[in-house]
Amino acid sequence: MKKYVYRFLVLGILVNFMSCSTTQQLVLTTMEPSPVVISNSIKKIGIIDRSAHIAVTKGTNKIDQILAAEEKWLTENGTDAAITGLFDELLKDDRFEIVKLLENVPEDVLAMGATPDAIAWSSITALCETNGIDAVFSLAFYDADTKVSLKKTKMQQADMMRELQEVSAQELTLETFIENGWRIYDPMNQRLVDEIVFNDQIISKGTGVNPVLAYRAIGDRKETMLKSSRNTGSTYGQRLLPSENSVSREYFVKGSEKMVYAAEKASAGNWQEASALWNEETENPNAKVRSRAYHNLAVAHERMEELENALSLETKAYEIQDDKLYLNYIDTLQKRIADQSLLQQQMVALEFSK
């Protein structure tokens, strides 16, 4: 009996805690324009590898030597994996007629961070003319660095009689930080279209009676690292496409009896009835309630993708009461409205290319 009383007590505390909040979250799925805007005249793409393979210093003990060899292998094969990920993604994009990998890359095609000068643009233009392409996607750098840590532990190991015994062991932890940078060159307009750095961290652990056996216990670590590199290239290719994004919005659930009732309707998915109640509360004599009602109506209209109406309603909320929440939401809506024109252009271009 005491157990059930305790459970009800905890439930009551949780319900009471949740009821103390003045707002509730609504999660919306929005469509965002691609962060990289590429000219419609670009139809033929060349991909190059401008990353320099840095020499890896070999360690003095066995585990250091193994990791040095692994790091060298990853640097060589990780670049190929990253470029393959980008290549495969660009092949899916119907806007591009040709996607090819280029091997003979001039030194003037600069690495990450350097702004192309007249000589560099001349080399990029020549590269495009020679290979019959309109733009160059470049893997500017690729770097992998592993931090090693060891600690003493215990493990179960079978003895000669095949009975498990607890023995002294070492736990090996490998933290590998993979970083790579990408660029897009548009020689026709002499424009550096995009430049970005991606990074990922892979943590692997293994236990053995010595560091080498602990390393072998980790499993297929190389494939995990290659998959990470391929995903990076793929993700970069997706930066050319509009994408869905989940965002959260706050709406008020308190202030008056109608506000509470409307929040219950909204939580149940009946936003039409909730909006009718909020609309009534825009005439409430209490300024705080009026502003909250206008804010909630703004959220309801954004939910229906009626962004201009949402902005107008949120502006009224801010005019009634100077609140940072309202001001931030106004900025958010203004950005979404500004993005709509670009998003529509991109969607039309994608549809036209099919």
Same domain, 278 and 215: no
Q: Which residues is 183 bridged to in the sheet?
A: 138, 195
Per 3-state DSSP, the chain is made up of helix, strand and coil in percentages (nearest 5) of 45, 25, 25
Same domain, 228 and 93: yes
Same domain, 214 and 266: no
Same domain, 234 and 101: yes
pLDDT of 257 > 60? The answer is yes
Q: Which residues is 196 bridged to in the sheet?
A: 182
Q: Is residue 48 part of a domain?
A: yes
pTM: 0.75
Q: In a 3-state reduction of DSSP, which class is residue 227?
A: helix
Q: Is residue 325 part of a domain?
A: yes
Q: Is residue 7 part of a domain?
A: no
Same domain, 277 and 130: no
Give the position of tokens 């109640």: 277
Q: What is the pLDDT of residues 96-154, one digit of tens each?
A: 999 999 987 766 666 555 677 776 888 888 889 999 999 999 998 898 888 999 999 98
Same domain, 255 and 226: no
CATH of residue 195 = 3.30.160
Largest CA distance in the chain: 86
Look up the domain containing 321 and give its range: 251-349
Residues in CB range of 48: below 8 A, 6 or more apart? 101, 102, 105, 109, 127, 136, 137, 138, 139
Q: Is residue 1 part of a domain?
A: no
Distance separating the N- and C-terminal Cα atoms of the chain: 67
Q: Is residue 9 part of a domain?
A: no
Same domain, 149 and 95: yes
Same domain, 230 and 276: no
Same domain, 140 and 233: yes
Q: Which of 166-180, 270-284, 287-301 has the lowest mean pLDDT?
A: 166-180
Q: What is the pLDDT of residues 161-172, one digit of tens each?
A: 777 888 899 999
Q: What is the pLDDT of residues 226-238, one digit of tens each?
A: 999 999 999 999 9
